[in-house]
Each structure stands twice: as C-alpha cells, then as structure tokens.
Amino acid sequence: MVDDDRRPQRIAMGPLRPGDRVGRYIVRSKLGRGGMGVVYGAYDPLLGRRVALKLVRHRDTPENVEAHVDERLRREAQALARLAHPNVVSLYDVGTCDRGDYLALELVPGIDLDEWLRKGTHSWKEIVEVFLAAGRGLAAAHTAGLIHRDFKPANVIVGPHGHVTVVDFGLARSTELDTTVSNGPEGAQPQIHSDALLNTRLTGTNIIVGTRGYMAPEQLLGLSVGPRADQFSFCVALFEALYGRRPYPGKNAVETATSFANGIFEEPEDRRGVSGRLHEALRRGLSVEPDDRFPSMDALLAALRRGLPASRRRWLLAAALAATASISAGAGAWGHALLSDSAEPACDHAGSHAHETDPRR
C-alpha cells in the first residue's frame, strides 16, 4: 500500500479479462467475487508461476469505506508476511494499481472444507485428521502473535492429495493490539456474563467481525478476543463436521447469544462412533467462558489426538514432525513465500478463498 498523497487515482473499470495486467501479473481467469473485491487466477512472468490476485474494488466506494477496505487488505498482508507454515497460505507480493490495491497469493489447488465434507463419505477419524492439520496452521498463527478471527470451513482448502491450507487472514489481528476487558490478572480472558449476552445490541452498527455461526461468545459481544476465540470457532466447525449441526442453536445473533447465556448446548443424539475422549476435548474447547477452554491451540490439538486410535496417533505424530522439519530445512523455500500468506480475495466470504478447483486449469 502507498501513502494517501502518493496513491494513484482509482479508475472505474469493468471486470478484468484474460490478458489484462495488474502490475507485472497477467490475468488468466476470475476465481471468485465478494463484497469488497475479486480474486483472479494470474501468471507471474518474472518468476514463472501462477498466483491468485486478490484485488480490492474502489469503484463508487465512499471514502470512509475505502479507508476501511485498505486497512483490511493491509492487515491481511502484514499478517501473512509474519507466517511461514505448510498449513497456511502464502503471500508473494502486495501492490497498488489504477484499479485498486492487490495481494499476490499462493494459488492453492483444491476445494474448501465445506465442499470436501459434502463430497463422498469420510470417517470421523479422517475428518479429525483434516481438522488437526488446519489446527496446526492456526497454532502457527498464534505463535506468530496473530488471531485469525474468522476460522470456518470455507476458509480451509483441502488439496487433491489431502494437503490442508488455512486461508483468508483479512480479519486477523495481532495479539499485541488486544487488551483485556476484565480487571483480572494480566493475560486473563474477558469474562462472559449472561446479562451481557442478553442485553448487548447486536445490530449492524456494532463493530463485530467474523461469521456469526462460528464466533466465540466474546467475539459476538464485540469484546476483546484472544487465541481462545479461534479455538472456539475451530471446535464449532469440527463439531458441525462430525455431528451435522452446530452445538449452540440460533438462527440469528440474538438467538445464538441467548443460547450462550443460558448454557443451551445441544449434545448430538448420535455420536457416530466418535470416541468419548475426543468428544470431551471438543466440549471443553466449546466452553462459553474463554478461561474454561484449553490454554492454547496446541493443547487442544494434543487432546484431540489422544481421542484417536493409537495407530492414527502415531501416524499424525510422524506427519507433524515431518511438517516441522520442512519448516526448518525448507526455510529458504518458505522464506520466498514469506512475503507470503493469504487466502481469499478482498472479496468477502462467497468465493473468497484464493484457490482453484481444478489445478490443471
């Protein structure tokens, strides 16, 4: 991004077409579109690789909204530049053109986790293994001092060979920026009281970011959030994947907040073979009070692994060690991608992930 006095004037133009250029990148196809931008498949002739271009639309955009969009894109770029992990999408470049600001991202082949879950039949053990890989990406973000704040199946890509990538860090926030709401000891999580959940005005004027069905209670209230909010979102998504519905009922924000406030947790009628040990770990990660959850994402993942059969635990440990080795031994390769990391177009949600469904395209 550039300073305001150096920013080129944005030109109102139609959608990009194959062959158009954005910076040095040559557009090949449109991958997705959302409320704030478009994602294109493109080619980088300098490095000879394909990328996903996340382009923010500024056409007919009020000045205050444009500033918000710019800040969100800048936040995503800064977040991704701090991460280098096999389970997190990579950011290659950031720039500005006459059409707006853009990110050049790793083009991740595959389908999102929502689609993966709908396709075929997966055992509960296979589902947990995919989520554990995504969880390692979240844990890496937390280690880097970042909170994703919008973890959900649509922001996870499963590749053709089963590789899992967490994408869309547009709502990410540094833990250094967070302050606690409570007056408790340093590092304490904000306390969630039932009267606050019931009385908070959940309107469009509130600055609440994320996706309602997956938000932690403190996030839904617009309170300060920490890594345990990501933990809650992760557990909602895993619960839904295993049992076919979310744990706290609610068709809108008010109903969901009421479920949180009254402790209305709907246990699945059919556990579908899921081990009691794994279910209990999941239940703890879904605690309304942040302090009742696991102390870290790594602790949650360890508890979930213990809920798997011993043979799968050994396989997952080997996979995790291999991933750790690839980060160290491949520091050079990942370092190139380190100006790297992202997911999605400045498009919001629909079509937001920076991936393509056919890697041969």
CATH class of 4-108+334-356: alpha beta
> What is residue 355's predicted lDDT score, i.e. its pLDDT?
53
Question: Minimal CA–CA distance to 209: which of 75, 111, 59?
Answer: 75
Residues with Cβ within 8 Å of residue 302, at least 6 apart in sequence = none
Q: Given CA atoms 320, 323, 327, 330 in this order, what sign does their dihedral have?
A: positive
Question: What is the Cβ-side half-sphere exposure of residue 171, based on CA atoms within 13 angstroms?
Answer: 20
3-class SS at 8?
A: coil
What is d(CA 33, CA 11) in angstroms, rounded to the nearest whole number? 19
CB neighbour burial string for 23-53, b if at least 16 within 10 angstroms, e if fewer: eebbbbebbbbbebbbbbbbbbeeeeebbbb
Question: Considering 93, 101, 112, 150, which one is annotated as catalytic?
Answer: 150
> What is residue 11's predicted lDDT score, i.e. its pLDDT?
44
> What is residue 311's predicted lDDT score, i.e. its pLDDT?
56
> What is residue 76's predicted lDDT score, i.e. its pLDDT?
74
Token look-up 């692994």 returns 305
> What is residue 207's predicted lDDT score, i.e. its pLDDT?
54
Q: Residue ranges of the domains in the chain?
A: 4-108+334-356, 111-326
> What is residue 74's predicted lDDT score, i.e. its pLDDT?
76
Q: Which residues of the chain have pLDDT under 70?
A: 1-13, 34-36, 57-70, 176-208, 311-361
Q: How many CB atoms lie within 10 A of CB 11?
A: 11
- 150 catalytic? Reply is yes
> What is residue 159's predicted lDDT score, i.e. its pLDDT?
94
> What is residue 192's predicted lDDT score, i.e. its pLDDT?
54
For residue 293, give both structure tokens: 């959850």
> What is residue 64's predicted lDDT score, i.e. its pLDDT?
47
What is d(CA 281, CA 306) in angstroms, rounded to the nearest whole number? 9
Determine the CATH number of domain 111-326. Answer: 1.10.510.10
Q: How does DSSP assign 180-224, residue by residue? A: -SSSSSTTPPPP--HHHHHHS--STTS---S-GGG--HHHHTT--
> What is residue 5's predicted lDDT score, i.e. its pLDDT?
43
| Residue 280 near residue 263 (C-beta atoms within 8 A) | no
> What is residue 56's predicted lDDT score, i.e. its pLDDT?
76
What is d(CA 165, CA 310) in angstroms, rounded to the nearest whole number? 25
> What is residue 359's predicted lDDT score, i.e. its pLDDT?
37
Provide the residue count of the chain: 361
pLDDT tens figures, 218-230: 999 888 899 999 9
> What is residue 337's predicted lDDT score, i.e. its pLDDT?
30
Question: Minimal CA–CA distance to 106: which of 332, 328, 333?
Answer: 333
